Structure 1
Amino acid sequence: MALEFTTVSWSIKQMLRMIERETITFDYPIQRAEGQWKGNQSSLLMDSLSRNYPIPALYFVGDKEEILVEKKGKQVPEKIVIRSCLDGKQRLTNIRSFIIGEFSLDTNLKDVKVDGIDYELAGKTFDELDEVIQDLILSRTLLTYTIDGELVTDEEIEDLLYRLNNGTPMTLQQKSKALMGIEWASTINKLGNHPFIHELAAFSKTQLRTEGHITALVQTMMMLDKGFEYKNVTQSVISEYMQSFRTDSESKMELLEKVRGAMDYLTNVLTRKESTLLRKIHFPMVLMTAIDAQEQNIEHDQFAEWMMYFKEAIKPQQEQTIIEEYDVPTNYREFMGSGSTDKSKAIGRLNEMKRHMKEYVKIYFGVKQS
């Protein structure tokens, strides 16, 4: 069945009001996070608005909600449409950010001519622009397409988003999240918002923006999943794994809960951000080692002591400062470096980290292996 859209053009001023009233939202599960644009992309958009250049259309999914409004002194029910942004989030959020003063324009922008008069843009915030340019930006209309959420399936929405982004620099991981399904994308997003990720792990701002933390979480699940034969731990294979979630929901949920439990455990182990062992390359291995530790009933402080020891043990010998002699040696570094996404290297890191942890707690804490 062909999809049917409602087409409306709204001014930027109207759309900002809708955002404030939350009748336009940006929390659709398979949407990318804010902050995807780099460099002067935001400034170029404002420059385009000022010069009356065409701006690509925006796409929404509309859902009706009933609210109470006051009419003639009485509270009466009224249905309104809440529009969840499918495509155009970066444009709208950057426009809003500029108008509320969160950034200034690039200093290399040229003046814009309006009715024969030149107006300066370079280096200015919205409030610093001439009123003529402010009015011009606020009055610009943007074309929107809204599809009725009651008349479209999740699969059709996923397919639409995939097609809309197929020609833009959306990462492979972000495209794959669209194909894993709305319900699973929402679940994975929630897992990615775990405090452990943002307060204790060592993901950079760029990795968080491009959802590298989601990749690391899914890699952990993939390596735990005995029902999936993976060739390596590259992004393409992880993305292939993500597409299997719809057909194997029950076992995937069990794996997800194991990963969540490992992050809960590690949140009690660590007191500050771990910048070495919780880098992306080591992150899945630490989580899977923590799962083993939970099964062995290893105390939080025991695991914390092992982490400190292991972190020092995997440094190059000339950089080791805390521990002079290692009763539990490790060859973990052999599985790092070139080819680290090979399956043999990934499994090598995992097995060696788990072996070292178990050996350490056996020697120092007398923990017997079950």
Structure 2
Amino acid sequence: MDRSTQPRTIKQYKAMYEKGTVNFDHVMQRSYGHWDIKQQSKWIHSLAINWPVPQIMARPMKETVTINGKEQLMNVYYMLEGKQRSLSTFYFLDDEYKLSPKTKPAKIDGIEYEMADKSFSELDEEVQEAILSYSLSIMSVDATDEEVEELFFRWNSGSPLNKTQQGRAIMGTDWAIRFDELSNHPFIKEKSSFSATELKRATHEEAFKQTMLVLDTNDDASSFSAPSLLDYTERFKEDSENKLAIFQHFLPVFDYLDVAFDKKEKVLFKKIHFPASFIAGKYALDNDIHPEEFYDWAQQFKHDFNKPESATIKTKYKDFMGQGSTHKAKVFGRISEMTRHLESYFTNKKFVNTDLIEILKKRKVRNT
């Protein structure tokens, strides 16, 4: 298999497409339309600010092309990789869609130009020129049909990033470091309900974000689903002071829970229960409830919601599980029911908590 790489500006590349020497109909290519407006806008913005982008790959094949009424034998480049990027660019240049209202300004030569909610013709000339003059790297692959099939298999056999993993790039390095600190806490690694596979897929980070969203009075998101959490991640930088204040609650509560549970808690800290159980732990810590007493309550709560016929304290917690469990009403319903159960359990109880601070110190945990 031979390969070579040639640079082409966006303007030159579109001219090839219009001339008929670029073709996106290779049988192995998926259909156009898999990108939403946010993905298209991110791509166009990358071109405008001259950021590095992945190369485009094509298989050249000799075909007869009619140009200016004359038939010519030329290389037609059948695109193997880059269809969504290419057509998103061409359609934008033809004013077939506007960029997302959330598109950031393009900074060119130290000057910022607005791009949000604009078509190509509505952009400033400087931005138009930056896009048209962007130099793409196009790799030509001289390969057999069998080799092309093998290429597609290899390109698509990797594990794609899920929404939570994508969020790391969006939240930035500082927040990724903070989430690593939470992920590496002994409570998460040794006591929480997340399996090894879930930890690899960053399922626990999705639970962290759901919990942050519960505590976040600056945000009114109606869903706690993965796509909604990805949108929430985008707001970390613009609301950093508030988000950091929310983050400060996590480590002290994790420290408390690490003391309360001496082994893996297989139920309450699964993803679906995590926000409610975290809020319960925070309530206990804030009210000086002894970790051992909190553990005893946790066992009672599990019994009461799993076996309502013999429950000591009746709870409707299960009514807020099942289908649509990431909807705001169900998330807050679970939190409300778990907190109500916790408060009922500890009503009129007397505690001897003078040794709580010493327990935390001995375990080398935080007391802040």
State the TM-score, normalized to the length of structure 1.
0.51
**Deviation string, structure 1 residues 305-347 (Cα, Å, up to 9, x no partner):** 11010011111447xxxxx551x21111111111111111100
What residue is the counterpart of 2:342 in the other structure? 357
What residue is the counterpart of 2:241 in the other structure? 250
**Deviation string, structure 1 residues 106-134 (Cα, Å, up to 9, x no partner):** xxxxxxxxxxxxxxxxxxxxxxxxxxxxx
Which runs of structure 1 show a deviation greater than 2 angstroms over 4 or more consecutive aligned residues? 363-367
1:220 aligns with 2:220: no
What residue is the counterpart of 1:293 in the other structure? 284
Distance 1:236 1:279 in 2: 19
Distance 2:216 2:252 in 1: 16
Distance 2:164 2:197 in 1: 14
Distance 1:356 1:317 in 2: 13
1:311 aligns with 2:296: no
Distance 2:351 2:188 in 1: 31
1:339 aligns with 2:324: yes
State the AA in 1 paired with 2:295: A
**Deviation string, structure 1 residues 227-260 (Cα, Å, up to 9, x no partner):** 0111111011111111111122222122111022
Contact kept, 8 Å, 1:306 with 1:357, in 2: the verdict is yes
Larger Rg belongs to = 2
**Cα deviation, residue 203, structure 1:** 0.5
Distance 2:349 2:287 in 1: 15
Distance 2:271 2:311 in 1: 28
State the SS of the aligned residue for 2:263: coil
State the SS of the aligned residue for 1:347: helix
**Deviation string, structure 1 residues 66-93 (Cα, Å, up to 9, x no partner):** xxxxxxxxxxxxxxxxxxxxx9xxxxxx
Contact kept, 8 Å, 1:221 with 1:259, in 2: the verdict is no
**Cα deviation, residue 365, structure 1:** 3.9
State the AA in 1 paired with 2:341: H
State the AA in 2 paired with 1:190: E
State the AA in 2 paired with 1:248: D
Tell me which of 161, 164, 173 is aligned to 1:173: 164
* Cα distance, 1:364–1:325 mapped onto 2, change above 3 Å: farther
Distance 2:261 2:163 in 1: 32
State the SS of the aligned residue for 2:227: helix
The count of aligned residue pairs is 198
**Deviation string, structure 1 residues 191-246 (Cα, Å, up to 9, x no partner):** 11111111000101221111001111111111100001111110111111111111
Unaligned runs of at least 5 residues, structure 1: 1-86, 88-163, 319-323
State the TM-score, normalized to the length of structure 2.
0.51
State the SS of the aligned residue for 1:238: helix
Distance 1:331 1:316 in 2: 11
State the SS of the aligned residue for 1:246: coil
Distance 1:335 1:223 in 2: 16
* Cα distance, 1:325–1:239 mapped onto 2, change above 3 Å: closer
% identity of equivalent residues: 34
